[in-house]
Chains A and B, each alone.
Chain A
Amino acid sequence: MAYLTQPDYVRYICTCGQLKPITSLYFCRHCLKIRCGFCICHEVDSHYCPNCLENMPSSEARLKKNRCSSCFDCPSCYHTLSTRASLVQPRQQEGAGDGKVENKHQKKMYYLACFNCRWTSRDVGIPDQPVASGGWPERPNPFATQINQLLEYYKAIALQEKQEKIEKERKKFAIRGKYLTLTDKTGLTGAMARNIAGLPSSDSGSSSIIAKFVPSQASAEVEELPEDYFTKEVNLNQITSMPQRLLSPEWQPTDVSRLHPIAKLLSVKRSQRCRECDHNLTKPEYNPGSIKFKIELLAFYHIPEVKIISYEPMKAGENSTVLLKLSNPTAHEMTLCLMNPEDIPQVDNEEEQLENSLEKSLTLDKESAACKPAAAPAWRRAAAPCVRAVGPPVRVSVPQRDDAAEYDDDATHDANDVIVWRKANKLGVRLQVATEAAASRGGAALLALALQYSYRNTVPPAANAPNQRNHILYTTALLSLGNVA
Chain B
Amino acid sequence: MALYEGIALIQEKQAVVLDLGSEYTKFGFTGEAAPRCIIRSQFWCSTERRFKKVYEYSTPEELYDNLVNMLHLLYFRHVLVNPKERKVVVVESLLTPTLFRETLAKVLFTHYEVSGAVWADSPRMCAMTLGAPVTLVVSLGAREAEVAAVVHSCVVLRAVQAQPLGAAAVRAELLHLLRQDCGPDLHLPDHVLEDITVKTCFVSPRARALRWQSDSPPEPARSVRYPLARLGAVCVSGRARELAAEPLFRRDNELASLPDIVLQCIMQCPIDVRRALAANVLLTGGAASLPGLRARLSQELAHLCTLPPYSSRLRLGEFKFHRAPAHDMSCAWLGGALCGAGEAGGGAGGGRLLSRDVYCRERRLRDWVNLLDNTPPHHPQRDHLDLTL
Chain A interface (Cβ within 8 Å of chain B)?
38, 41-44, 47, 61-62, 65-66, 141, 143-144, 146-148, 150-151, 153-155, 157-159, 161-162, 213-220, 222-225, 229-234, 236, 239, 241-242, 246, 249-250, 252, 265-268, 270, 365, 367, 370-374, 376-377
Contacts and interface: CB of A to CB of B under 8 A. Distances in A.
Contacts of A224: 205, 292, 295
B343 interface: yes
B244 interface: no
B356 A371 contact: yes
Given A161-B348, A371-B113, A373-B110, A229 B291 contact: yes
A129 B72 CA distance: 38
Given A151-B31, A213-B131, A223 B294 contact: yes
Nearest to A236: B199
A222 B294 contact: yes
Contacts of A219: 320-321
B202 interface: yes
Contact of A241 (B65, B199, B222, B360): B199
Contacts of B360: 367, 370-371
Contact of B131 (A62, A216, A229): A216
B321 A218 contact: yes
A76 to B, nearest CB: 14
Contacts of A42: 72, 76
B159 interface: no
Contacts of A267: 77, 80
Contacts of A225: 202-205, 291-292, 295
B123 interface: no
Nearest to B323: A216
Interface string B35-66: 11111000000000000000000000100110
A92 to B, nearest CB: 41
Interface of B: 1, 9, 24, 26, 28, 31, 33-39, 61, 64-65, 68, 72, 76-82, 84, 106, 109-111, 113, 128-133, 194-195, 198-200, 202-205, 208, 218-222, 224, 226-227, 238, 279-281, 291-292, 294-295, 298, 318-327, 329-330, 334, 338-339, 341-343, 346, 348-349, 356-357, 360
Contact of B346 (A141, A150, A155): A155
Contacts of A373: 110-111
A158 B357 CA distance: 23
A252 B132 contact: no
Contacts of A231: 221-222
Contacts of B35: 249
A218 B281 contact: yes
Contacts of B198: 239, 241-242
Contacts of B281: 218
A223 B65 CA distance: 44
A222 B295 contact: yes
Contacts of B226: 236
Given A161-B349, A241-B199, A268 B341 contact: no
A266 B325 contact: no
Contact of B224 (A154, A162, A216, A234): A234
Contact of B36 (A41, A65, A150): A65
A222 B296 CA distance: 9
B182 to A, nearest CB: 17
B357 A367 contact: yes
B23 to A, nearest CB: 10
Contact of A220 (B31, B292, B319): B319
Interface centre among A44, A219, A234 (most CB of B within 10 A): A234
Contact of A151 (B224, B295, B322, B338): B338
Nearest to B62: A377
B87 to A, nearest CB: 14
Contacts of A43: 82, 84
A270 to B, nearest CB: 6
Given A62-B9, A220-B320, A371-B360, 6 more contacts: A42-B72, A162-B348, A219-B321, A220-B318, A220-B319, A222-B295
A370 B281 CA distance: 46
Given A372-B110, A374-B110, A147 B325 contact: yes
B72 A246 contact: no
Contacts of A65: 36
Contacts of B224: 234, 236
Nearest to B298: A222
14 contacts: A38-B68, A65-B36, A153-B131, A154-B341, A155-B346, A216-B324, A220-B318, A220-B319, A222-B294, A223-B295, A239-B199, A252-B329, A365-B357, A371-B356
A279 B64 CA distance: 26
A218 B342 CA distance: 25
A374 B106 contact: yes
Nearest to B27: A249
Contacts of B36: 65-66, 249
A148 B68 CA distance: 33
Contact of A230 (B106, B221, B294, B349): B221
A147 B334 contact: yes
A211 to B, nearest CB: 13
Given A234-B199, A242-B195, A216 B132 contact: yes
A158 B106 CA distance: 28
A110 B76 CA distance: 33
Nearest to B225: A236
A224 B129 CA distance: 24
A162 B349 contact: yes
Query: Closest 6 CB pairs between A and B?
Result: A218-B320, A225-B292, A143-B325, A215-B131, A250-B34, A154-B342
A353 B220 CA distance: 73
A249 B37 contact: yes
B106 A215 contact: no
Contacts of B318: 220
Contacts of B298: 220, 222
B8 to A, nearest CB: 9
B338 A150 contact: yes
A230 B220 CA distance: 7
B343 A246 contact: no
A158 B109 contact: no
Given A38-B68, A141-B33, A371 B110 contact: yes
B73 to A, nearest CB: 12
Contacts of B343: 158
Nearest to A265: B78
Contacts of B203: 225
Contact of A157 (B68, B72, B342): B342
Interface centre among A47, A141, A213, A232 (most CB of B within 10 A): A141
Contacts of B323: 216
A66 B330 CA distance: 20
Contact of B80 (A162, A230, A268): A268
Nearest to B291: A225
A268 B219 contact: no
B343 to A, nearest CB: 6
A159 B8 CA distance: 14
Nearest to A218: B320
Contacts of B33: 141, 143-144, 147, 250
B24 A158 contact: no
A225 to B, nearest CB: 4
Contacts of A41: 84, 113
A288 to B, nearest CB: 14
Nearest to B1: A148
B340 to A, nearest CB: 10
A222 B281 CA distance: 11
Contacts of A236: 199-200, 224, 226-227
Given A230-B219, A249-B37, A249-B38, A44 B76 contact: yes
A158 B352 CA distance: 12
Contacts of A229: 202, 221, 291-292
